[in-house]
Structure 1
Amino acid sequence: MHADPRQQLENKTDTQNGKDPDTYMSPLLVAARHGTTEMVEKILEIQPAAILDVDPANKNIFVLAAEHKRFEVLELLREKFSNMKSAFRAVDNMGNNALHAAAMYRPGRWIGIPDGLQMQVETILFEAVKKSVPEYILRGSNNDNMTPKQVFDHTHAMLLETSRTWLKETSNQCSGLAGIIASVTFATSTAIPGGVTEKDRPKLENQLGFTIFAASSLIALSFSVTSAVVFLTIANSRHEKRDFAKKVPRMLFFGFFTLFISIAATLISFCGAHIYILGYKLKYAAIPLYALVVLPITVFSLAQFRKSYLQLALATFEMKIDDSG
């Protein structure tokens, strides 16, 4: 059985004498560890030989930058200092190259991000680092005869299961909410405010409020059903590691987007129908009153949606991830 690479990749200086590991590193390694690309570039321009610096665990700038997921530093090194090929081939005391380090999962790094999205971030960063290192590094093995992909699979096994559980629970909750909205909007979309005429035509069909009610209730029904189907699909699928780079976040994005639209449309349809209850008494004052009721709920929902999911989903669309591997 393979030893846990998590222990192999642990920086031995982290606990040495209880001091900060930066104490035992050169300025270049400290800059790489913290992702300060400007300092890395300046130091290497002034002193190119600094690229050979290593820490007590024999980790050079490439291994440290990859270990701390500083792929912007790796990209800089590959673009401007690719002539220093010997540094790209460097390994630490355990035989780990830069991609081995990038494959390592460090618990607690992504505080505040849900488990399911942590797997997404880890996958995206691993793929980004993979594109920033020479191709021959992909096939390198460490002292345990493990390739970077095997290290990634091994150290992310528990997170993968946790992510699947999180996805299932979240999708079940959201599909239940979408189902409730669909039930409500189905009942309201078939109701006709104000009744019908002798010719079975809506009495209020030429009123703006009725048009808003009819259109928004149909939109709410369509989007809520779509959202329920998407979340049920997510909940009933067994997602593999590669799915978390693009497939899972795109489905989550689409599911939450349709759910949000259905909630907003439901509120609008309610206001469109309810305006006939207060509209005759408040007249034009009823419209801003309904806006004040709907606006806080809409803003809160949009803020939570954007904070938790939208930014990560958009980041996935912007990054070109290789799905072939």
Structure 2
Amino acid sequence: MGRNRTNSVSHRESAAYTATKCNDPKSIELLRDFWREEGVFPIDNRGDTILHFIAIHGNVSALKLLIEERPVSGQDLKIQNKDGNTALHEAARFGQLKIVKVMVSLDSEILFERNSKGETPIYVAAAHGEKEVFAFLADNNMCDEFTMTRNDGSTVLHAAVTHECYCNAWLGVMDDEKQKHILALTLARILIKEEDWNFYANNCVENPLIQATKLASVGSPFKFSTEEPPIEKTTRGYKTLILMAWGVLWFKRVKYCVHPRLWTMKDDKNMTPKELFDQNHSNVCIEAEKAIKDLANPALILSTLLCTINFAAVFTIPGGFDDKSGLPILLSKPQYSELWMLMFFIGAALYDSVFTMGTVLSVLLSKFDSDDFYIALPIKYCTVIISVYYSTAFTVLGCVQALNVENIFMDKDVWWLVFLLMCLGWYMGLIVLDVCYIVFDYVYYLLNYSFLFKGNKHVM
């Protein structure tokens, strides 16, 4: 008899658990009956109640139904499982924003409940990367020194860094990695306002900037901050440049969001965050330097060749020069407008070629410090590619215009040449887009970030 009753209760608890995931009439009716008879009685061996599972699954309609059936008191919401988590802790952990809003509206005091580790709901939201829940609680003035720390003194910034939970993916795998750090920055700004930074000098809790660099969460969003950065065989060429650039960018973002006192603090190995970052990224920096030089040398040769061709073309224009005046003969002919167009193409190609050579030499003479990968090298890389493209395009157009000045195309159908030039320009444009897109994306994000944080106290 006792066994049958135990099996019946177990079956009912299992059915109630299943019903918390559904919104169909049968499940709603089952939840209503269970809530009316059992209330907040634990339904599993972890001590979770029906409110815990409703919070986990984000079943807002079920929660509102229970409130209508029998008012949910603050004591009901404060019931903890064996880990000390309340239903609000679970809602925060799984990012169930609607559930959080309903529970907070019922009793705001549950925001200060701590689990067995001393973590409040807002701390749990930060640790698991639930940005929307964290932002809601922060916007409602639920952030203070009490709610943002746990028993061992760790702050929400430590939690976000340790668990690598920063959320908010944008544009695929690479952007998913880089956006993991956004929440850490939000937390840092909040902590700076009220945090006692002497705490890190006098206690065993680690400087979050050093901690982030060690864990590869800030030093490199692509996991290159380990002691032996594992560069894959497929990661070559300009990709190593952009990986290094992202690493420097995210390190600087966190650096300028923590208190300046932490910038020069040293870890147990007597290293500052910057020294640790440079050490852990030394292999990546070397690979990126080699890749940039491998790309710069062909660009220098090509730009020199184009410069030589266009420089010679200036003194060998069609029609020759007048022996008396020294001016081009065609200036006094009907083709003078075509001649001016030719000179424009040659001059533009010559200027772009010289500009490319200067930029390439500037790249080759760089120190290739980690800071160079932040702005200078990505900008120079894009500049070289674009200037080579334009110098080549203007050289081709100058050649075609020279044939036109010589009346080579007179009374001839040259549609095929126009079509060929269009195809060539389109193909070259695709090549430029292919080799520059990732760098353009980085520069675009960098500019947005610079303008976004222009008014901050700690600027870059």
Instruction: Give TM-score scaled by structure 1 length.
Output: 0.72
Match of 1:277 among 408, 411, 416: 408
Change (3 A) 1:87 1:168: same
2: CA distance between counterparts of 1:264 and 1:89? 61
Q: Which runs of 5+ in 1 are unaligned?
A: 1-22
Match of 1:247 among 376, 379, 391: 376
Residue 134 of structure 2 is matched in structure 1 by: 40
Change (3 A) 1:286 1:54: farther
1: CA distance between counterparts of 2:132 and 2:257? 18
Does residue 366 of structure 2 align to residue 237 of structure 1? Answer: yes
Change (3 A) 1:196 1:136: closer
Match of 2:156 among 40, 61, 78: 61
CA displacement, residues 80-128 of structure 1 (integer Å, 9 cap, x when unaligned): 565552699679x985422113434423799786212322221122111
Residue 311 of structure 1 is matched in structure 2 by: 441
Query: Counterpart of 1:143 in 2: which secondary structure?
Result: coil
- The structural deviation recorded for 1:264 is 2.1
Residue 187 of structure 2 is matched in structure 1 by: 77
The 5 Å alignment of 1:1-325 reads: 26-27=93-94, 32=126, 37-44=131-138, 48=143, 51-52=148-149, 60-66=155-161, 68=164, 70-80=180-190, 82-83=192-193, 85=195, 96-104=206-214, 105=220, 106-107=223-224, 114-195=239-320, 201-203=328-330, 206-275=335-404, 276-282=407-413, 285=415, 288-289=418-419, 292-304=422-434, 306-320=436-450
Corresponding letter in the other structure for 2:157 = F
Instruction: Report the number of matched residues.
Output: 297
Pick which of 219-228 and 102-111 moved more.
102-111
Corresponding letter in the other structure for 1:259 = V
CA displacement, residues 229-287 of structure 1 (integer Å, 9 cap, x when unaligned): 3212322433222222223223323323322221221222123224443353127x578
Corresponding letter in the other structure for 1:169 = D
Instruction: Give TM-score scaled by structure 2 length.
Output: 0.53
- The structural deviation recorded for 1:131 is 0.9
RMSD: 4.2
Query: Counterpart of 1:239 in 2: which secondary structure?
Result: coil
Residue 14 of structure 1 is matched in structure 2 by: none
Corresponding letter in the other structure for 1:61 = V
1: CA distance between counterparts of 2:245 and 2:151? 31
2: CA distance between counterparts of 1:277 and 1:270? 12
Corresponding letter in the other structure for 1:295 = G
Query: Counterpart of 1:295 in 2: which secondary structure?
Result: helix
Corresponding letter in the other structure for 2:440 = L
1: CA distance between counterparts of 2:444 and 2:433? 15
Corresponding letter in the other structure for 1:250 = I
1: CA distance between counterparts of 2:302 and 2:291? 17
Change (3 A) 1:29 1:80: closer
**Percent pairwise identity:** 18
Mapped contact 1:224–1:258 kept (Cα < 8 A)? yes
Mapped contact 2:148–2:155 kept (Cα < 8 A)? yes
2: CA distance between counterparts of 1:54 and 1:256? 54
- The structural deviation recorded for 1:32 is 4.8
Mapped contact 2:93–2:128 kept (Cα < 8 A)? no
Q: Which runs of 5+ in 2 are unaligned?
A: 1-89, 95-121, 165-177, 215-219, 225-229
Query: Counterpart of 2:408 in 1: which secondary structure?
Result: helix
For the pair shown, the structure with the greater C-alpha radius of gyration is 2
Mapped contact 1:172–1:232 kept (Cα < 8 A)? no
Mapped contact 2:213–2:251 kept (Cα < 8 A)? yes
- The structural deviation recorded for 1:213 is 2.0
- The structural deviation recorded for 1:34 is 7.7
Residue 3 of structure 1 is matched in structure 2 by: none
1: CA distance between counterparts of 2:397 and 2:159? 53
1: CA distance between counterparts of 2:348 and 2:445? 28
Corresponding letter in the other structure for 1:185 = N
Corresponding letter in the other structure for 1:116 = L
2: CA distance between counterparts of 1:247 and 1:161? 17
